[in-house]
Structure 1
């Protein structure tokens, strides 16, 4: 049974624990916790936070994998009215120091991976560093905090879900310094509810959570959705396709949200056929565009009703292909606006364009951020006076409201005055039998302004040439869209959420020119 729609994050868990206290909530390969046990530990952790000097509005950093401690921290921080600042445990010193300094975090919880980021450099930026699942001389550990008795009751904080900030999520920083996106309680809770409702989720579902919780996809679509429906969560702290397949079979997972790369790796695993995946019911894919062949293969070979979504850190979930949709709507679109969200496609003047015309995707709704932390000018550039957020993504909308994604606005290539959208070329290139991944970028050219360059990662043992790639694309595109250059690379860099880091890739390609 679902809960009320407008809840804070801490209220979400409280209600779930009241309704199903003995039901298993989490298995993270280390521990199993019921909803009642989870709520009890969150209460203890909230007391520990207060003992560390955390008060309403303070920022608390969390740099951990998908562990039960991570989930407990998310809810405990919300319980005392503080603001969560989650970030990737694999970040290095300059990234960590920027986030801690910019957010003004008072306390940060870290795993041993944090040592590689320059532990000492971070200690000068926060009042307290707490180690999790390891000990360090002179620093409090998570287990120590959980073992203490706290006599001082923490204040009862009741946030306004629509206006109060639950977390500050830092963008991946592919175009300059990361921006802190201020996200409300309502944004993550209602996103989880809307996704779950669309996918017909219920109490008996088992979510396998392979996407990182420090990303909005893992946080909203996975964690909050599962808690909203009092479902069980299986947390995988380090993604490996074989481990994911094992856990699906072992825990009888029913809901599997994953980025396209993960799904592809699972489908291509040599022992794929040996696993019993019959429990799988549904799931969504997002963060980057999923090839139609992958969607079709997941639906047929994994037996799950895979739906496609689109969203951003700044907006939360925006679209989803309907649960019962079939054919081109599932294979070629990212769905329609979810309940509570409006979408329009606009031109350079931010005027709505006709059905089928490519323009920038703009949206507004419950998930919209409060703004960029300490960046009022950039907030105003992104959100207009009527509450429309301009995503920087290109797409079309048909008469039924289905959105077809056409790529990033900033990635559009202008060659000799012609507009070229990398996404359409990438979609075709990924169908080449030898290609594992591909990215299309514009490189500067003194005559044409830009030329089209293809970065191609081949499958294991495969070999190819520029000529072979061009001949594969030639029947599909006008000559001006064909790559002038093809660079074969060992790896295409991606963010933790699976998006290709084109800025980083472009730097590599420029060196090869």
Structure 2
């Protein structure tokens, strides 16, 4: 059975057309497993279609801007897809950032429509506002607000503009929203369109799947992060069913791996370390041939330890929300040939992406020289300009990229430059340390000094003095933190990165 309205996509972007075609392949088959229960492709399509109708009804001729209080649940995936089917713009709202801050954020956005679960909407949306509030419960809308007449309408917009206003992780300051266009997302999950990015090209796609993919993927990245959006769209456009986890939790993740035996999984560095130091064995992960890891630095030592324990290579990558995804990474072939010589690198430029390192004045530096990284992301197309990052990097003569640190986080201690990543890596090499975060603290005499927050592995015990002594053989004296605070858990963003703003606040307050 074909869901009404999903085939009316003649003017839609190729990403929207692909989503619509996949949703109608096998309506009765399972699409998303969540909490032990499968949501079918037909259920996903039905709710997405109703959300699409609401978007079109409230758009008044403009591109629909729809806020979604996103959580990792099937109904939220359907709502996300429904906005894209309407050619609209998903405004990502993280309901876990704190009620007061989120409530203020929603009020400032002045959105015509906000979608979410009842508790989130009740707590976060002003009942006196003119915003249309759409409550999703399980795979239904309560109350039903989409009219029956809207169901026959195709997208009023061609999807040529912004698909998602995505919140950055906010590791170093307040999160900001970055515009991800339909073209950026399409290039990320579908690859370059060699015909053109003409939104009015014929409503056919010879590369679209004719049937559902075999095998089941696992998605544990949050939908409020680019990683979660990418993994979700990647599964949808490939017609691949997947297990959706509300968050990474080693028990439920390992259970899904044992049941569905995926060949590849994606884990943020924090999750890599959790698996590494768990009781899982090679037999538990026997199906996995490769682990991909991004969003934050992963030390070569941790990557090697994971491979030694499980026999699985870890392919690291370099990405940013502003790029619409990854721009560099390891391939399995490169890992086999170059890892021993290039360990610690985040790989080479992805197809379509370009990388270079420049001095402060813009002079392009040669192989092996350290400077500011500039990127032309493949997701932006070949004619885009160079984007200067705040990352200090070097690129060798074979094109392998090393991220050395961040220029805006360098700590100048009495004239000496301390790179927090170097200190963090040294701390995390201690066998008792699960994770570490390093920031600068103002100092009247030296300008600033490094201070560290450390999270220990379960059951381990070590003092700050013992950690400082451990660092004395691994770092210069000026790099050793003037304070090492051991905590139960380092504050983290939804993507698993250390929340440096929260870390700095806690260290400065002495909590």
Which range, TM-score by smaller chain? 0.7 to 0.9
Corresponding residue to 1:178 among 172, 175, 183 = 175
Which of 93, 101, 126 is the aligned partner of 2:99?
A: 93
Supply the distance in 2 between the matched residues of 1:106 and 1:320 (Cα, whole angstroms): 39
| CA drift at 1:231 | 1.9
SS at 1:324's partner residue?
helix
Task: After TM superposition, list the pairs within 5 Å mapping 1:296-311 onto structure 2.
Answer: 296-311=304-319
CA 405–159 in structure 1, closer or farther in 2 if over 3 Å, else same: farther
CA contact (8 A) 1:204 1:231 kept: yes
Q: TM-score under structure 1 normalisation?
A: 0.83
Instruction: Give the Å deviation of 1:113.
Output: 5.2
Q: Using the alignment, how far apart are the partners of 1:329 and 1:113 within structure 2?
A: 53
- Structure 1: where are the runs of 5+ without partners? 1-5, 136-140, 196-200, 370-384
Alpha carbons of structure 1 residues 287 and 37: separation in structure 2 relative to 1, 3 Å: same
Is structure 2 residue 401 aligned with structure 1 residue 352? no
Given that 2:351 and 2:378 are in contact with CA atoms closer than 8 Å, whether structure 1 keeps it comes out as no
Quick one: distance in 1 between partners of 2:115 and 2:234? 24
Q: For 1:82-481, what aligned pairs fall within 5 Å after superposition?
A: 82-112=88-118, 114=120, 118-119=123-124, 121-125=125-129, 127-133=131-137, 142=141, 144-145=143-144, 150-153=148-151, 155-157=153-155, 163-193=160-190, 203-220=213-230, 222-270=231-279, 272-273=280-281, 276-316=284-324, 317-326=326-335, 327-328=339-340, 331-368=343-380, 387-481=385-479
Indicate if the aligned counterparts of 2:454 and 2:486 stay in contact, CA closer than 8 A: yes
Report how far residue 133 of structure 1 moved. Answer: 2.4
CA distance in 2, matches of 1:128, 1:158: 19
Shift of 1:497: 0.5
Which whole-Å deviations, capped at 9, do the CAs of 1:14-42 have from their partners, x for residues lacking one? 23346666764322236434545533442
- 1:311 CA drift (Å): 0.9
* Residues 320 and 338 in structure 1, CA contact (< 8 A), matched pair in contact too: yes
Instruction: Tell me how far apart the structure 2 counterparts of residues 126 and 171 of structure 1 sit (CA, whole Å).
Output: 27
- RMSD value, Cα: 3.1
Change (3 A) 1:126 1:182: farther
**Is 1:47 the equivalent of 2:53?**
yes
Structure 2, unmatched stretches of 5+, are 1-11, 193-208
TM-aligned CA deviation for residue 387 of structure 1: 1.8
- The count of residues paired between Structure 1 and Structure 2 equals 477
Do the aligned partners of 1:183 and 1:368 also contact (CA within 8 Å) in 2? Answer: no
How do residues 15-94 of structure 1 correspond to structure 2 at under 5 angstroms? Answer: 15-17=21-23, 24-29=30-35, 31-35=37-41, 38-51=44-57, 56-94=62-100
CA deviation string 1:243-282 (max 9, x = no partner): 1111111233333212111222233334x23973323233
C-alpha spacing 1:36/1:129, structure 2 compared with 1 (3 Å)? closer
Tell me how far 1:431 sits from its aligned partner.
0.9
Q: Distance in 1 between matches of 2:384 and 2:84?
A: 29
Contact 1:9 1:75 in 2 (8 A): no
TM-score by length of 2: 0.84
Deviation at 1:144, TM superposition (A): 4.2
What SS does the corresponding residue of 1:483 show, helix, strand or coil?
coil
Is the Cα–Cα contact under 8 Å of residues 112 and 134 in structure 1 kept in the other structure?
no
CA gap 1:39/1:425 in 2 versus in 1, 3 angstroms: same
Q: Is the 8 A contact 2:167 2:225 kept in 1?
A: no
Q: How far off is 1:367 after superposition?
A: 2.9
